[in-house]
Amino acid sequence: MILVIKPQTTEAALEHMIQEIEHTGLHTHLSKGEEVTIVGLVGDKTKIDLTAIEANPIVEKIIPVTESYKLANKKFHPEPTTFAVKDTLIGPDTMTIMSGPCAVESEEQLLCIARAVKAQGATILRGGAYKPRTSPYSFQGLEEEGLRYMKAASQETGLATICEVTSAHAVESAYKYVDMLQIGARNMQNFELLKEVGKTGMPVLLKRGLSATIDEWLNAAEYIMSSGSSKVALCERGIRTYETATRNTLDLSAVCVLKERTHLPVIVDPSHATGVRAFVEPLSAAAIACGADGLMIEVHNDPAHALSDGPQSLDFDQFASVMEHLKPYIALSGRTLG
């Protein structure tokens, strides 16, 4: 439920009403836009007297919210969200580039890649220290050792860092080393993990599950937000369909749908979506045209010998070429790299 507040309402009157509502046990979410102020109510609405709320002189109207997700809902927060990850702003005015290897393999490798991606405009270094793989015999990541390399790369280059976490233990470790946590597709509905990540209050990138609907995805974001973190970005990385020409099917229509339903930033990962490096550039351009707030692109110093996802990783020259070709699209979108 949303309460639309009348213009010229005093801060004192608004605060008094909020205190009365929260006294009933409900939670409130205040959103002040340039023209409209709204108060979202989260919790058991039977605890409040709707007649009294309607009669309150500062309430212009009450709007019911039928979706199960509230905090992630655009109705609760009409203005698009912008938040900082170290010195990087993710939001409607910037095109955030997150780049780096699928898996951290060594400190030397990561530093080499960090320098290269920063030179081309990336502001967030991605790198996997915990790798949930389909096969138990595949490389599983360097874990805390890899996290230490991420911190070292950040200190040298100034890049913000993001790493996937797969357990409460991984969250506890990553909290000490990186600037943003990532929930991978396989864990999108690992609700206990979502709660743990939310409790940190850190920025979070939530990838879409392999077969998740958009409503399921937004409800997963709600778990994180209701646990304490308001800094959530959604990442479209392809869904599983009957098509086998690409690794997954990149659902760019999801970007358009999300822009209608949520205030949260949307990132697109064309690397994992297709599994083919040749498709990264055209789909990145298409994602920008659809309104994406950022891209996650895998880059490796030696893709042919990468320990994870080599076929979709760009080498340094390829990444430089892609970034150069994307500049006109970024400019047309009215955004700047950052």
Asked if 14 contacts 58 with a C-beta cutoff of 8 angstroms, the reply is: yes
User: pLDDT tens digits for 90-134?
Assistant: 999 999 999 999 999 999 999 999 999 999 999 999 999 986 656
Residues contacting residue 183 through CB under 8 Å, at least 6 positions apart:
164, 165, 190, 193, 194, 197, 204, 205, 206, 207, 220, 224
Would you state the pLDDT for residue 49?
Answer: 87
Query: Averaged over 151-170, what is the pLDDT?
Result: 96
Instruction: Please give the share of the chain, as a percent, with pLDDT higher than 70.
Output: 97
Would you state the pLDDT for residue 336?
Answer: 96
> What is the C-alpha separation between 308 and 318, in angstroms, rounded?
18
Asked if 267 contacts 294 with a C-beta cutoff of 8 angstroms, the reply is: yes
DSSP code, position 319: H
| 29-43, 158-172, 292-306, range with the lowest pLDDT | 29-43
Q: Which of 80, 67, 78 is nearest to 222 (CA)?
A: 67
- Report CA dihedral (202, 136, 151, 292) to the nearest 10 degrees: -50
> What is the C-alpha separation between 16 and 39, in angstroms, rounded?
13
Task: Flag whether pLDDT at 185 surpasses 90.
Answer: yes
Which helix (DSSP H) or strand (DSSP E) does residue 180 occupy? strand 180-183
Task: Flag whether pLDDT at 46 surpasses 90.
Answer: no
Would you state the pLDDT for residue 44?
Answer: 83
Would you state the pLDDT for residue 138?
Answer: 61
> What is the C-alpha separation between 219 and 272, in angstroms, rounded?
23
CA–chain centroid gap for 115, Å, is 24
What domains lie within the chain, and their CATH numbers? 2-63 (3.30.70.1140), 83-337 (3.20.20.70)
User: pLDDT tens digits for 21-37?
Assistant: 999 999 898 988 878 89
Task: Flag whether pLDDT at 136 surpasses 80.
Answer: no
Asked if 248 contacts 274 with a C-beta cutoff of 8 angstroms, the reply is: yes
Instruction: Please give the share of the chain, as a percent, with pLDDT higher than 90.
Output: 84
> What is the C-alpha separation between 47 and 295, in angstroms, rounded?
43
Q: Which amino acid is at 19?
A: Q
Q: What is the pTM of this model?
A: 0.91
> What is the C-alpha separation between 221 and 51, in angstroms, rounded?
32
Question: Quick check: helix, strand or coil at residue 288?
Answer: helix
- Give the pLDDT band of residue 140 (cuts 50, 70, 90): low
